[in-house]
Amino acid sequence: MSPPGRPKGERPSAEREGSPVSGAPREVRDAIADLLAEYALRLDEDRLEEWIDLFDADCSYKVVTRENVEQGLPNILIWCANQDMLRDRVASYRDVNEYNLHWDRHVIGAPRIRPGADGAWQVEASYSLFQTDLEGVSRLFSVGRYQASVLVSDGVARLREMVAIADTGSIPTLLATPL
């Protein structure tokens, strides 16, 4: 049975090619879905050096809190202004910082995709990040949303900008790995 207001057999507008809900053709939606899946998997599998490859050379990666975004405050927890800065952050994580040993597990919700400026796509998706420590205790580490500017070329998506907006600035332990 079709929901009220929709003819029998008609797909919801989000499923139609270039629909106003997603604002993107299927090949763009698929490329962005693949990008988000790889984003989570590379972080979860501790493949941070490969995670950097998901970004454009002149990228921006930020972690901010929802409160600061809502109040227009400039406080940024992490900011890398290009791939080289991301490489430095990963090298620091690998070689310098002492941190709690854990495994990450990202859960990313379905993205909302809209056309953006300069041929980029604006993407927003909720995320949850769970961490499991060496004793096998799992906990919710961070919840929030991603706001990204994504470039898609020849069916491959790259991040021009990724902003992780954490619902809270209360981080249970050191924020060492990317969100």
Q: Delimit the domains of the chain by residue range.
A: 24-98+108-124+146-166
What CATH code would you report for 24-98+108-124+146-166? 3.10.450.50
Give the integer Cα–Cα distance in Å for 149 and 56. 10
Nearest Cα to 49, choosing from 98, 84, 100, 97? 84
Specify the pLDDT at position 12: 46
Cα 120 to the center of its chain, rounded Å: 15
Torsion of CA 31, 177, 103, 142, to 10 degrees: -80
For tokens 């600061």, name the residue.
68
DSSP state of 167: S
**E runs forming strands in 22-120:** 55-65, 78-80, 102-108, 112-115
What is the per-residue pLDDT across 19-71, written as a single tens digit (0 to 9) for each? Answer: 445 679 999 999 999 999 999 999 999 999 999 999 999 999 999 999 999 99
Q: What is the pTM assigned to this prediction?
A: 0.84
| Residues 143, 163 contacting (CB under 8 angstroms) | no
The alpha-carbon radius of gyration of the chain (Å, integer) is: 18
For tokens 């406080």, name the residue.
75
| Cβ-based neighbours of 82, under 8 Å, separated by 6 or more | 57, 58, 59, 60
Neighbouring C-beta atoms of residue 7, cutoff 10 Å: 6
Specify the pLDDT at position 123: 97
For tokens 């501790």, name the residue.
46
Specify the pLDDT at position 70: 93
Q: Which residues of the chain have pLDDT under 70?
A: 1-22, 97-99, 171-175
Specify the pLDDT at position 4: 47
